[in-house]
Amino acid sequence: MKKIAVLLSGCGVFDGSEIHEAVLTLLALAKAGASYQCFAPDIDQLHVINHAAGAVAQAETRNVLVESARIARGDIKATTELDLSEFDGLVIPGGFGAAKNLCDFAVNGAAAQVAPLVAEFIGQFIAAKKVVGFICISPVMMPLLYGAGVKGTIGTDADTAAAFNAMGGDHQAAQVDEVIVDAEHNVVSTPAYMLAGNIVEVHNGIEKLVTKVLERA
């Protein structure tokens, strides 16, 4: 049985992991007969969003690992607990947490940097040439992690694609149910809620991504 690590960035589309994307990733892995383990960095969120009001909750602070545990039903590990030998690959759901907590793209755009604990975690998979799947906005980290020329997609948003290219990536336009495979770097990406109009479209794209990840694992 193949085992895949899933990197979460909190809990909630506007300040953490996109919950639909995260849960559909876990479901697709389980349906395909793979096992998984959720991970998250033990760091503070950039900020907390009141999802009912759509506003920053100024007085609140939350921890990315603690919040991610909500999605993982408590079965979560800090990124520093990774034993790479146990895993065949990695999948990273999107949500603003990927662009606010895993890296700072939401604040700094093409001048973004990946959070140190996150770079160390994903870097282990890259160094071992193990497959990594990036969903939604999380592919913006790819040029920072893999270097110039890496191929990936965030869908069709012109500004985000331009930033991806400015960071050294080779952006590939893709529709919501498509995946982009960079065989040289062993990386897969799909747009999900960067383009999706509903949860069914997200499911279709993520299922294809998970299939490709497991094929390459």
pLDDT at 78: 98
Could you tell me the two tokens for 192? 């999900």
pLDDT in tens, 102-121: 999 999 999 999 999 999 99
Specify whether the CB–CB gap between 140 and 163 falls below 8 A.
Answer: yes
Residues of the chain with pLDDT under 70: none
Could you tell me the two tokens for 11? 């809990």
pLDDT at 20: 98
pLDDT over 70, % of the chain: 100
Reported pTM: 0.98
pLDDT in tens, 10-23: 999 999 999 999 99
Specify whether the CB–CB gap between 92 and 82 falls below 8 A.
Answer: no
* Residue 52, number of CB atoms within 10 A of its CB: 6
pLDDT at 194: 98
Query: Which domains are delineated in the chain?
Result: 3-216 (3.40.50.880)
Q: Is 11 a residue of the active site?
A: no
pLDDT at 51: 96
How far apart, in whole angstroms, are the C-alpha atoms of residue 14 and residue 141?
A: 18
DSSP class of residue 64 equals H
Q: Which of 11, 38, 103, 136 is catalytic?
A: 136
Residues with Cβ within 8 Å of 46's Cβ and at least 6 positions away in sequence, in order, are 15, 100, 101, 104, 106, 107
* Residue 183, number of CB atoms within 10 A of its CB: 9
Q: Which long-range contacts (CB under 8 A, 24 or more apart) does 157-162 make?
A: 157/194, 160/194, 162/110
* Backbone phi, psi, residue 65, to 5°: -65, -45
